[in-house]
Structure 1
Amino acid sequence: MDTDVLITGAGPTGMTLANELLTAGVSTVLVDKLSRRSELSRAGGVQSRTLEVLDQRGLLAPLLATGDHPVATGHFAGIPLPFDSNRHHLPWRSVPQVVIEGFFEQHLAAHGLHVRRDHELVGLAQDPDGVTATFANGAAVRSRYLVAADGAHSTVRSLLRAGFPGPPGTLTIVAADVRLGGADPATSHTWGEDGHWAALFPLGTDPQGRPLRRLVLGGPGRSLPRETPVTEDEIRDGLSTVFGTRVHLVELRYARRITNASRQVAQYRHGRVFLAGDAAHVHLPLGAQGMNTGMQDAFNLGWKLAAAVHGWAPKDLLDTYHAERHPAGAAVLRNVRAQSLLMDWAGTRDPEVLAAREIFTAMAQLPDVQRHLADLMSGMAVRYPMPGNATHPLVGLPAPDLDLGPARVHELLRSGHGVLLDPSDTFARIAAPWSDRVDRAGRGAGTEPMLIRPDGYVCWAGSGDPEPVLAHWFGEPH
């Protein structure tokens, strides 16, 4: 083997996974077909759950130190959502994808893992022992496992001939990174009476400190073939149609057309090959859910691959990647389709759609509805099925970042191990055989007993015997 894991695609999903494997001491090769990192912003927001896991790996503070990354406002179908509950103690941040990729690339390089660029995958073969990948430049890499993080037009997915079911795109909208002049619109989404609409989101600042915005435009007659270039005149016309003379274009940095295609692979695992991020699911970019869902794929898969490489993975542990992440991806596709309908992307001004939106907007003012939608959009609504005392209110959910005195829960997860909170020192003997993969926080932990997986999800809590759950997730004892 040349390496334990080969990752194709050095975007946020691939780099997040590479860092998880690096933390776990797994040899990794990360390749990308581009000769240099893209400077396009693409996604622009980091959700609460993603921020939590970055904090668990000690990466959140250095990421936010890379520039001005203001707290971002969330929305559902353009309806603003508050993120101020205890379950969102880390509010959304506006961090462009290009910044995230640059941060991860530097972090990985500082730890000896460099992206191998100009590696365009052309061949893939797997056998009972590993995977052989060949590239257009003549290189070949033999690995125990391969993870496809190579985007919506995944070469790996094509070579696997993996089904990618779902409705194709029926329209396009324009997404652009811009500098604007004039009055700053009071709301992120603005609709005109004729069905034209615009959405604006902060993207931080350029090197000169000038604010950048993500602009999205749609409406009647604006759906053009995806390959049609976006011009400055088109941007100016869209701004004028929605805002009149209040807002004008100062600089167009880049623009592209995106579609409302909604697809998801039927299987996330194909033998020794795994699909993650946009290679596994695509949808309209609402709330940066595509990037964040892909990074969560990586957090879920990383520790499981490490367990398999190190030889302690329980039977079927790798299968839980599909079992847990496919439903999570499907839920994102459902909420995006619902938002697309309520936002009237095509600008039809259909009275039935407008009536539904009016009622939904009123409902979204109810606190319980706001909390539900906020959880849905922030990644906090994901609850994984767990064996054992799964009726406990915390089991299956992200672990709360409790202050345990000498350390917070997130700090205990920095090692990439599981964590057993044992405030009464009840389970020292039981946990000892798993001490090479589960760290125990004993007396003084100041909370109820809790077993937390390396990805930060609670897999056991409360009363009873944690030994069966330790064996289920962490394999045979040492």
Structure 2
Amino acid sequence: MDTDVIIVGAGPTGMMLANELRVAGVAAVLADKLPRRSELSRAGGVQSRTQEAFDQRGLLEPLLATGTYPAGTAHFAGITLPLTHDRHRQPWRSIPQVNIEAFFERHLAAYGIHVRRDHELTGLTQDDDGVTATFGGGARIRARYVVGADGAHSTVRSLLRADFPGRSASATLVAADVRLRGTDKVDTHTWAEDGHWAALFPLGTDTQGRPMHRLALGGPQHSLPRETPVTEDEVRTGIRTVFGPHRVELLELCYGRRITNSARQAADYRHGRVFLSGDAAHIHLPVGAQGMNTGIQDALNLGWKLGAAIHGWAPDGLLDTYHAERHPIGAAVLRNVQTQGLLMDLDGSRSPDIVATKELFTALAQLPEVQFHLDDMLSGMGFRYALPGAEHQPLVGLPAPDVDLGSARSHELLRSGHGLLLDPSGEFSEVAALWSDRVNHAGKAAATEPMLIRPDGYVCWAGDPTVLESALHHWFGKPAQR
């Protein structure tokens, strides 16, 4: 083998996975077909659960130190959810994808992991022992596993001939990074009577300290073929149509592209020794800041499991839990995004049915319970894996709470890439010692109840002492000592 894992695609998903494998002590090659890192900010919102994941690895604080990234309030289809502000330990933040990629590239390089640029994948063959990847020019790399994190038009998925069912695009809209004047005078989401609409999200500042925004424009005049260039005149006209003359002024169009509402999901995330993650596994309209976040969570779920398999302690079926856990999450994201697309009336049809549905939904969204439900779904904090014991214990399958352990916070003990057993009474020290090479033990922890946390930060056991050892076997394999 030339390496343990080949990651195809150096976007946020691929880079997060490379870091997870690094933490797990696994060798990885990170390859990308682009000759240089893209300067286009295709995504801009980082949800609470993703920030918690960064914090678990000690990445959040240095990432936030690289710029000015304002916190925001959740919305669903442009309907603001004000009661959700500050519900979670980390608020929704606007952090452009280009900044995240630049940060990760520097971070990985500090550990000797460099993106192999200008590496276009051309072939994949796998056998019982590994996978051979062929790149442009005939270069070949052999690894135990390959992960396709190479985007919506994934070469890995194509070479696998993987089923990618779903819906083709029925509408297009404009997404642009812009400098504007007068944004303090308008709502974040604004609709015009003729069906045109605009959405504004802060992106922090550019390299010269000037405020930037992500602008989305939809409606009849913007529903053009995807390859149609986005021009300054189109953006300026769209702003004037929605906000009226002289209210909001376009100062600079940094870049613009057309996006679609196509929705597809790979039928299988695992194909033998090859896995799909991020946009290679699921694509949808980029609304609600969920696409990049879902991909990063894919990487968080898969990384420690690949590490366990490569180090030889993975229990039977552990790698299969990647598809079992992440596919339902991806499907749930597609469903809520399709709902948002319908309520937003992307192509500006002004259908009476859509207008009536949105009016009703807007009224329902004023209820606290509805706002909290939507926020948990969008932020990723409410997604629950169907793990053993989840039917009896409300914590199992959810992100672990952050517990004060006196000398540290519980999330800080996950930075090693090990699991974590919180043991408030200290009664499980003997059994914890059997898995000490894979699970950190926090005895006398100030937790409300004992719990076992996986390396990805999800609770996999809580409460019942009679099944703790079974849970350790299930997630962390046979103990190294007995």
Does the C-alpha gap of structure 1 residues 323 and 421 become closer, same or farther in structure 2, counting only changes over 3 Å? same
Q: 1:69 is matched with which residue?
A: 69
State the alpha-carbon separation in 1 of the partners of residues 432 and 444 from structure 2.
14
State the alpha-carbon separation in 1 of the partners of residues 110 and 158 from structure 2.
33
* Secondary structure of 2:242 counterpart: helix
State the alpha-carbon separation in 2 of the partners of residues 84 and 193 from structure 1.
29
Q: Does the 8 A contact of 2:84 with 2:375 survive in 1?
A: no
Does the C-alpha gap of structure 1 residues 123 and 83 become closer, same or farther in structure 2, counting only changes over 3 Å? farther
Superimposed CA distance per residue, residues 205-255 of structure 1 (whole angstroms, 9 cap, x where no aligned partner): 111111000010010132111111111111111111111221121100000
Letter in 2 for 1:395: V
Q: 1:419 is matched with which residue?
A: 420
List runs of 5+ in structure 1 lacking aligned partners: none
- What TM-score, normalized to structure 1? 0.98
Q: 1:338 is matched with which residue?
A: 339
* Secondary structure of 1:221 counterpart: helix
Letter in 1 for 2:28: T
Does the C-alpha gap of structure 1 residues 86 and 457 become closer, same or farther in structure 2, counting only changes over 3 Å? farther
State the alpha-carbon separation in 1 of the partners of residues 362 and 83 from structure 2.
17
* Secondary structure of 2:94 counterpart: coil
- What TM-score, normalized to structure 2? 0.97
Q: Does the 8 A contact of 1:389 with 1:461 survive in 2?
A: no
Q: Does the 8 A contact of 1:390 with 1:396 survive in 2?
A: no
Superimposed CA distance per residue, residues 34-58 of structure 1 (whole angstroms, 9 cap, x where no aligned partner): 0110000110010000011111111
Q: Give the 4+ runs in structure 1 shifted more than 3 A.
A: 82-87, 444-447
Which stretch shifts more, 74-83 or 324-333? 74-83
Q: 1:371 is matched with which residue?
A: 372
Q: 2:478 is matched with which residue?
A: 476
Q: Does the 8 A contact of 2:172 with 2:226 survive in 1?
A: yes
Superimposed CA distance per residue, residues 238-297 of structure 1 (whole angstroms, 9 cap, x where no aligned partner): 111111221121100000001110000000000000000000000000122000000000
How many percent identity over aligned positions? Answer: 72
Q: 1:435 is matched with which residue?
A: 436
Superimposed CA distance per residue, residues 374-429 of structure 1 (whole angstroms, 9 cap, x where no aligned partner): 00110112100111364211111000011121111111111110000111111111
Q: Does the 8 A contact of 1:179 with 1:213 survive in 2?
A: yes
Q: Does the 8 A contact of 2:34 with 2:118 survive in 1?
A: yes
Q: 1:350 is matched with which residue?
A: 351
Structure 1 position 137, deviation (Å): 2.8
Aligned: 1:138 with 2:138: yes
Q: 1:265 is matched with which residue?
A: 266
* Secondary structure of 2:374 counterpart: helix
Letter in 1 for 2:172: T
Structure 1 position 346, deviation (Å): 1.1
Letter in 2 for 1:33: K
Q: 2:101 is matched with which residue?
A: 101
Q: Provide the aligned length of Structure 1 versus Structure 2.
A: 478
Aligned: 1:398 with 2:422: no
Q: Does the 8 A contact of 2:176 with 2:254 survive in 1?
A: yes
Q: Does the 8 A contact of 1:30 with 1:116 survive in 2?
A: yes
Q: 2:317 is matched with which residue?
A: 316
* Secondary structure of 1:195 counterpart: coil
State the alpha-carbon separation in 1 of the partners of residues 283 and 457 from structure 2.
25
Letter in 2 for 1:319: D
Letter in 1 for 2:263: S
Does the C-alpha gap of structure 1 residues 472 and 83 become closer, same or farther in structure 2, counting only changes over 3 Å? farther
Q: 2:38 is matched with which residue?
A: 38
Q: Does the 8 A contact of 1:74 with 1:83 survive in 2?
A: no
State the alpha-carbon separation in 2 of the partners of residues 121 and 220 from structure 1.
39
Aligned: 1:383 with 2:377: no
Q: 1:225 is matched with which residue?
A: 225
Letter in 2 for 1:94: S
Structure 1 position 138, deviation (Å): 2.5
Letter in 2 for 1:32: D
Aligned: 1:243 with 2:263: no
Q: 1:7 is matched with which residue?
A: 7
Does the C-alpha gap of structure 1 residues 396 and 419 become closer, same or farther in structure 2, counting only changes over 3 Å? same
Aligned: 1:55 with 2:55: yes
Q: 2:363 is matched with which residue?
A: 362
Q: 1:409 is matched with which residue?
A: 410
Aligned: 1:208 with 2:208: yes
Q: Does the 8 A contact of 1:133 with 1:142 survive in 2?
A: yes
Structure 1 position 448, deviation (Å): 1.2
Which stretch shifts more, 132-141 or 251-260? 132-141
State the alpha-carbon separation in 2 of the partners of residues 454 and 176 from structure 1.
37
State the alpha-carbon separation in 1 of the partners of residues 306 and 273 from structure 2.
10
State the alpha-carbon separation in 1 of the partners of residues 426 and 205 from structure 2.
50
Q: Does the 8 A contact of 1:314 with 1:472 survive in 2?
A: yes
Does the C-alpha gap of structure 1 residues 278 and 446 become closer, same or farther in structure 2, counting only changes over 3 Å? closer
State the alpha-carbon separation in 2 of the partners of residues 240 and 437 from structure 1.
59
Structure 1 position 73, deviation (Å): 2.2
Letter in 2 for 1:471: H
* Secondary structure of 2:34 counterpart: coil
Does the C-alpha gap of structure 1 residues 23 and 291 become closer, same or farther in structure 2, counting only changes over 3 Å? same
Structure 1 position 464, deviation (Å): 2.2
Q: Does the 8 A contact of 1:20 with 1:302 survive in 2?
A: yes
1:162-311 aligned within 5 A:
162-245=162-245, 246-311=247-312
State the alpha-carbon separation in 2 of the partners of residues 187 and 392 from structure 1.
42
Superimposed CA distance per residue, residues 140-180 of structure 1 (whole angstroms, 9 cap, x where no aligned partner): 11000000000000000000000110010011101000001
Q: Does the 8 A contact of 1:421 with 1:447 survive in 2?
A: no
State the alpha-carbon separation in 1 of the partners of residues 84 and 385 from structure 2.
24
Letter in 1 for 2:327: H
State the alpha-carbon separation in 2 of the partners of residues 236 and 84 from structure 1.
33
State the alpha-carbon separation in 1 of the partners of residues 348 and 53 from structure 2.
38
* Secondary structure of 1:72 counterpart: coil
Aligned: 1:123 with 2:157: no
Structure 1 position 83, deviation (Å): 6.3
Q: Does the 8 A contact of 1:77 with 1:340 survive in 2?
A: yes
Q: Does the 8 A contact of 1:84 with 1:91 survive in 2?
A: no
List runs of 5+ in structure 2 lacking aligned partners: none
